Structure 1
Amino acid sequence: MKIPLSQPDITEAEIEAVTAVLRTSRLSLGPKLEEFEHAMASYVGMPHAVAVNSGTSGLHLCVRALGIGDEDEVIVPSFTFIAAANAIRYERARPVFVDIEPHTLNLDPEKIEAAITPRTRAIMAVHSFGVPLPIDAILAIAKRHDLFVIEDACEAVGAEYKGCQAGSFGHAAVFAFYPNKQVTTGEGGMIVTGDVALACRMRALRNQGRYDSDDWFQHQEIGYNYRISEINCALGIEQLKRISEILSRREEVAKAYHRELEDIRELILPPIHVAGSRISWFVYVVRLAGNFTAHHRDKLMSYLQSEGIGCARYFAPIHLQPSYAEWRETHLPVTESESARTLALPFFNRLSQAQISEVGKALRSGLRMLD
């Protein structure tokens, strides 16, 4: 691709930090792990952080550590990455899919209470595309029904709602650091929580069920190898030092896209501002307007790819995936309508104005083919 869909932003400082770890005798469960956890907890404003090898692992540990299990129900959007629902199913619980609202494409709080049953144990509140949910409305619902709130902030590091960081509201929250994220560790994730007992249990679960007080081969419960290496943590520490610069740069790229594309009537652009919130720009997703369908979106996507421009559909609804055939009859009209017309454009820190203009030019040419 001439212009890739995403691209990590790695500096010499990060390369040197990783190299320094390789010159030590500690490649796992060492000082960089603790430093990364403390840095992330401080940034989010939560007392405890637990680093793991992926955001998916983090979501799974939240479900497991909160005691959610057989036939329990967890409310979650279908318009999100499949890991959110998979983490629920790993514990034999059932995801209950709720529709989104069309402006931000986030979970619609007004649809949640109708989905609550006596089996409901939690709400998985996903900050989709780095746009914060109206989390106070969700917390109020959770309090009325005595539910846990797990914040899936995997796409939202640095996002803010009413002056507070995404990830600082629920019983636990998870961030992810895959290479397309705002901050990357290569592979990795981070759980934050205000509950010391929950944090302690999740640290044990990530390391085969072994608590800090246990001998090396003593395991109090069934756990997992969800450890993250010192190498990943060293990279994350250096990335987090640049978080303000990274978020500002990504906001500049989003605004440049908005200026480039705002005159194209066939497109619905993502909101640049959401009242009371700061968006942490993860991706830049446009939607085809009017009567365009998934067929038109896919045709446009193929054209852009043929021109060397990376793009993808974000997201395919989970309840329509082959691995979720049991949920296929779930009716989510907004999710199904909006997801059929979404298209993620190239988006990363170092995307230039010239590249944005090239994407805009190709979009205009591709859209003319759809008329």
Structure 2
Amino acid sequence: MKIMIAVNTPLLSGNELKYVTECIETGWISSEGSFVTKFETEFAQYVNRKHGIAVSNGSAALDIAVKALGLGKGDEVIMPTFTIISPVQSVVTAGATPVLVDSDPITWNMDVDQIEAKITKETKAILVVHIYGLPVDMDPILELCKKYNLKLIEDAAEMHGQTYKGQMCGSFGDISIFSFYPNKHITTGEGGMIVCNDDSIAEKCKKLRNLAFEQQGRRFIHHEIGWNYRMTNLQAALGVAQLEKMDYHIQRKREIGKLYREGLKDLKGFQLPLERTSSSENIYWVFGLVAETEVQQEAMVKRLNDAKIGTRPFFWCMHEQPVFIKMGLFENENYPVAEKLARNGFYIPSGLGLRNEEIAKVISVII
């Protein structure tokens, strides 16, 4: 069955073709090219950071962030159970141990009140993941990091342009990361960015993304393991064009959220995204719905799919991932709020390319 209204349609309405054409005409299509440096510089400035390090995707950014902070065997990292697999995967593959917390039922972010009880002498970092459109409550986490001398990794993959108490998401962590997958507020097709203020961390990240080549000495002699996680000039050209339209993209996302909230305000049996908190207005990376029961969720998803309207389920909890269970992680752990979100939550079309008449169709089918 062909989906007529996709769950995400990117918006490429600026200088994307012009800049990509320049890459092709000049032959600068690999990671060596002026658009990479331009994108790094302008994106870092946008989120009020000193350094930007462009990489191949958000998961690559997390791999590098974990290693650049020296996290490894015996170290514990506190993070949410309700997230995409990438943050936990990066911690596990580095040899460190993920320690999970449940979600807040209203914002869907990690419950910050549960963090301190999970801190032990082995805890070395907190990894926050801003979920779906509202940021994590950062003040308590910053206090804990200071109190216990912990590193902070900030996964702002879904938070382009979002703020917490007026400060840009992505500006809080010792290292913060972004993703530029096509469903993000700005996209490079695939791609990611690491941002930080520390000069030595930035240099470490640059080295790790480029197979850990040494800056001095003979080429192809390596003293540590890195990755080929470079971003291409073609991708960066897209990113520069997308960044030029960032203010409009944020405005449009909030317009989409407002239209859905108004059209679905009388919907019974489903929780809508919170419009705002005391620190932030929702940026609606996606527009999610949480049904009261799994039966309701399944019935609504079927109704939408039958009408050729795309949907996606919410993230599945990390403590219930078969791959981690096989590794002996998270035995007998339960996180009821996150489990309900994972089972009963889904999101509806909300990409930047979505038209108002398509939003009206989605609303009519749901109602």
Q: Indicate the residue corresponding to 1:219 in structure 2.
A: 222
> Which residue is equivalent to 2:85?
82
Would the aligned equivalents of 2:14 and 2:241 in 1 still touch at CA under 8 Å? no
Aligned partners of 1:155 and 1:175 also within 8 Å: yes
Distance of 1:84 and 1:70 partners within structure 2: 16
Structure 1: where are the runs of 5+ without partners? 365-371
Map of 1:368 onto structure 2? none
Q: Cα deviations across residues 315-370 of structure 1 (Å, max 9, x unaligned)?
A: 11121111121325211111112322111011112322221221122213xxxxxx
Amino acid at match of 1:192: V
Quote the offset at 1:296 in angstroms: 3.0
Q: Identify which range, 325-334 or 91-100, moves more after superposition.
A: 325-334
Structure 1 letter corresponding to 2:323: S
The alignment partner of 1:129 has SS state of: coil
**Aligned ranges 1:253-292 → 2 under 5 Å:** 253-289=256-292, 292=293
The answer on 1:124 being equivalent to 2:124 is no
Distance 1:239 1:212, change over 3 A: farther
Match of 1:15 among 14, 17, 36: 17
SS at match of 2:26: coil
- Which SS does the other structure have where 1:358 is aligned? helix
| CA apart distance, 1:214 | 5.0
Residue 128 of structure 1 aligns to a residue whose secondary structure is coil
Structure-1 residue corresponding to 2:209: 206
Distance 1:50 1:184 in 2: 16
Which residue does the alignment assign to 2:341? 338
Moved more, 300-309 or 173-182: 300-309
Distance in 2 (CA, whole Å) between partners of 1:257 and 1:214 is 58
What is the rounded CA distance, in whole Å, between the counterparts of 1:44 and 1:139 in structure 2?
18
The superposition leaves residues 109-134 of structure 1 with CA deviations (integer Å, 9 ceiling, x where unpaired) of 10001111111111001111131111
Structure 1 residue runs of 4+, over 4 Å off?
none
In the alignment, what sits opposite 2:136?
A: 133
Q: Is the 8 A contact 1:285 1:344 kept in 2?
A: yes
User: What does residue 173 of structure 1 align with?
Assistant: 176
**Is 1:206–1:224's contact at 8 Å kept on the other side of the alignment?**
yes
- Counterpart in 2 of 1:307? 307
2:352 aligned to 332, 349, 360, which one? Answer: 349
Please state if 1:242 is matched with 2:245: yes
Native 8 Å contact 1:131 1:278 kept in 2: yes
Is 2:67 aligned against 1:60?
no
- Matched letter for residue 230 of structure 1: N
1:185 aligns with 2:197: no
- Give 3-state SS (helix, strand or coil) of 2:313's partner: coil
Aligned to 1:105: 108
Counterpart pick for 2:6 among 4, 9, 23: 4
Give distance in 1, aligned partners of 2:66 and 2:38.
25
CA RMSD, aligned part only? 1.3
Q: Residue type of the partner of 1:174?
A: I
Percent of pairs identical after alignment? 35
Name the residue aligned to 1:230.
Answer: 233
* Superposition deviation, residue 97 in structure 1: 0.9
Which residue number in structure 2 is paired with residue 369 of structure 1?
none
Q: Is the contact made by 2:53 and 2:193 (CA closer than 8 Å) also made in structure 1?
A: yes
Report deviation, 1:256: 0.3
What corresponds to 2:28 in structure 1?
26
SS at match of 1:228: coil
Q: Is the 8 A contact 1:60 1:87 kept in 2?
A: yes
- Where does the alignment leave 5 or more consecutive residues of structure 2 unmatched? none
Q: Distance in 1 between matches of 2:166 and 2:85?
A: 29
Is structure 2 residue 174 aligned with structure 1 residue 195?
A: no
AA aligned to 2:187 is T
Contact kept in structure 2, 1:75 and 1:120, CA below 8 Å: yes
* Residue-by-residue CA offset, 1:280-300 (whole Å, 9 max, x unaligned): 3210001113xx2x2431232
Most deviating of 203-212 and 325-334: 325-334
Letter in 1 for 2:322: P
Amino acid of the residue matched to residue 277 of structure 1?
A: S
C-alpha contact (below 8 Å) 1:201/1:211 kept by paired residues: no
How far apart in 2 are the matches of 1:340 and 1:347? 20
Sort the Cα spacing of 1:282 and 1:215 in 2 relative to 1 into closer, same or farther, 3 A.
Answer: farther
Give the conservation status (yes or no) of the 8 Å contact 2:274–2:282: no
TM-score (norm 2): 0.95
